[in-house]
Structure formats: structure tokens, C-alpha cells
Amino acid sequence: MLFTSISFLYYFLPITIILYFIVPKKIKNFILFIASMLFYFYGEPKYIYLMLTEILIAYIGAILIDKYKKKGILIATIFIHIGLLCIFKYTDFIIENTNNIFNLKIPTLRIILPIGISFYTFQILSYIIDVYKGKVSVQKSFLKLATYVSLFPQLIAGPIVRYETIEKELDNRKHNFENFAYGVRRFSIGIAKKVLIANMLGELCNYFIGTDEKSIMFYWIFGISYTLQIYFDFSAYSDMAIGLGRIFGFHFLENFNYPYISKSITEFWRRWHISLSSWFRDYIYIPLGGNREGIKKQIRNILIVWLLTGIWHGASWNFVVWGLMFGIILIIEKLFLGKYIEKWPNIIKRIYVLFIVMISFIIFNAKNMKEAFSNIIGLFGANEKTFINNYTIYYLKSYLVVIIIAIIGATPISKNIIQKLRKNEKLNKIINIIEPIYILIILIVTTAYLVDNSYNPFLYFRF
């Protein structure tokens, strides 16, 4: 079920909210768990049993880890969860590459990837590892653990919510108008970003992919548009997840912090998909030794982390290349480039970051490396295309406004202006009056758009 569907917005969500707030406190987790099961069942009915099995394994495994303090139990539990992720996500990829290398004809199993498995697997892993380390208390209630793992606001596309973040709120969370209002406002911002910006940019990218009438300018428009699309698409889901979580009393951590204003790739990854990058830092990079054992091992650790980051995103070589590309750039920045970047003007720093990020997302989006290479060299006229043609001009005129809005929206300009205005008492009162009207208009406009348009899932659903 999509957050941007009529069935979710006007049936599932209102019914869930009403039931949640009318039942006693001791039943609220049960309502959320049942709602989350129905939410997942709607889109992945047969894989709901896989998720419940993984939760049960984590539940039993954590209790045994807490009781016996044996590393072997931890390793076995991790192995089971990683093994299931690999079976469902990478089996066909391994078979295809084995066939290519050894000229075999082993049939692929055509396994359908369970939605959200990468996200809830990482949440489970963080829980059992933190129980072993003593960072969190083992959860004796299966219902509460299952509610944490399956919580529908962040179940299928993150952010990756660690157990320690909401451990106390599973037992005791506050419900008040302030939290509810913030949640509604944050959810509304997210749905506007997705429907009115990301989807529109997605249409433009699809026109580029589907046409033979490409030009050098169209390659650049595509690169810029997709870079903006994936930010607004994924950050929109995070906004909606954070907003929904707050409505039900949970405080999820931020997942994006205006990454496109970064002045280095190192900074970019402190601002982009924060829950994923921090997960790899805390559970892979630091346990491997981080930067504590010399530069050679640090380089090794960075490459391992970014190889895994690429593979986590999908079973395809373009994701491997994408991950290793960032790993190599981060190593170069750490070794020597970083000290030179510091001396560059800010505008040059940001152009450097945006260009690398755009190239990376062209690779990320491609079906294969051949397509990625073609789209990259197309930026520089190597595909023997004209600089601009009538087809490009037509689509540039059609989508120029949304591109400009997206560029402005990817920066904190609007946020900073509103914060400054709120410092004035009279203006703050006006904003408080206008805000509910603004939210209502967003819901009306997005509803009209959704009724008139076809299925358009979030980009990160495939991970």
C-alpha cells in the first residue's frame, strides 16, 4: 500500500488513527501491529509470513543472547537474517553471473524481492547486536518487538529506525495535540514533495528514457532532474514516515539534512540517507577497526563498507560500481584532496559535489553499465547528438518551473525565511492561521493529482 494512494489516505490511515486513539493505552501497540500487518499484507500477502518468521527468530535469538551472552548465538542469528536477505535479493544475480563466467545455463529462480526486506532486516540486526553489546534491554514481549519491526510508517522504505531510538516509546509515549499537529504538517510536506515535485520530475526522466530524440542539453536536463527526483522521492517518504511516527507518539530521527548544499562528498554522506550511512558506520566500519589501525586498514574498511552499501541497494553491477565509486572518492578526500577542497570557493565546492552526485545517480538509475556509460558520455557530446533540438526545448519549457522549484526546495532557503518570519510575533500568528489552510490545499491538490494519475511507487521500494 502506498502512502500516496487514495486507499491509504482516505480509508486505511483515518480508520487506524481513530481506532488507535479510542482504545486504552495497553492496546495501542496491538492496534499498530495489526494495522502494520494489514498494510504489508495489502502489497505483499505471501511475504508477510517471511517477515513474521524473521521477527520470531530475532525475538528468540535476542532472548538467548541476553541469557547466555554467547557470541556464537549472535553469529548464528545474524547469519540466518543475512542468509534470508541474500536468498531473496541476490540468488538470481549470482546465478546469472555464474552462467556468464562459466558459460552455463542454470535457470534463474525468478524470486520476487519482498518489499522492505533490506530495511527491516537491518533494523532486526541492529536490535540483536545492541542486545549483545548491552546497549538495549532485550524485549520480552513478542508484540512489542513485532510492532517495532513492522511499524508501517517506516516499514518498506525507511528510515532505518534503531530499536534504541524508540525503546522507551514502545512502553510509554506521549500523545498530545502538538505531536499530532507536527505529524500532520510533516506528512503533508512529504506528500507534496512526492506528488507535486518528484512525480513530475519522474515524468520528465521517463520522457528522456523513452525517446530517440536526445540532445546534449537533454542529457543534462535528465541528469539534473533525476538527481532532484531521487532526493525529493526518498526524502518525501522519510518526511511522511517521520510525520506518521509522530502522530502515533514516536520520534524517528532525521534521514536527510539538505545534502545538496554539501561542500564535500564526505559531508554529503553525513546529510544523505543518514540512517543507512550511520548504520554501516556503527555496525561495519567501526567493528572492522575504523580509522584506528593505520591508513591501509582504513582504506580497506572504507572499500568494504561502500561495496556493501552498493550491494545493499540492489543485485546489479551498477550498484556495485556506484558504491565503490563513492568509496574511492571518500578515500581520495581523506588522503589528500580534502585539504585542497577547504581552500576552494564555496560555489566551486558545491559544483564539485553536485557534479559527482549527478554522475553517481546516472549510474544508480541505469539498467546496466552500458546504459550508464552512454548517458554519462552523452553529457559531453560523445554520442554525436546535437546540442539542443525542438524536442528538448519543448520539455524544458514544460518542466522548467518544477525544476526551479525543486532546486530551491533542495536548499534550506524556504525554511530559513519562514524561521525568520516567525521571530516576528504578528507574522508568526499569521503563519499559524495560514498553515492549516496550506495543509488543506496540499491535500486537495495532491488528491486531485492522484485520482487523475496512474500508479507511481517510491523509487526506494525496490531496495
Catalytic residues: 313
Q: Put residue 172 in one of left, alpha, beta given phi > 0 → left and psi -120 to 50 → alpha.
A: beta
Q: How many angstroms separate the CA atoms of 89 and 54, rounded?
A: 15
Neighbouring CB atoms inside 10 A of 367's CB total: 10
Residue 240 and residue 195 in contact, taking contact as beta carbons nearer than 8 Å: no
Q: Is the peptide bond before 159 cis (omega within 30 degrees of 0)?
A: yes
Q: What does the block give as the cell for 179?
A: 505531536
Closest CA to 226 of 327, 369, 376, 116: 376
Rg of the chain, C-alpha, whole Å: 23
Place of cell 544508480: 364
Q: What is the dihedral of CA 350, 351, 357, 362, to 10 degrees?
A: 160
The CB density around residue 109, as the number of other CB atoms within 10 Å, is 11
Q: How far apart are CA 292 and CA 10, in angstroms?
A: 53
Of all residues in the chain, what percent are helix, strand and coil, respectively (each to 5)? 75, 0, 25
Rounded distance, CA 144 to CA 150, Å?
A: 10
Contact criterion met (CB below 8 Å) for 324 and 306: yes
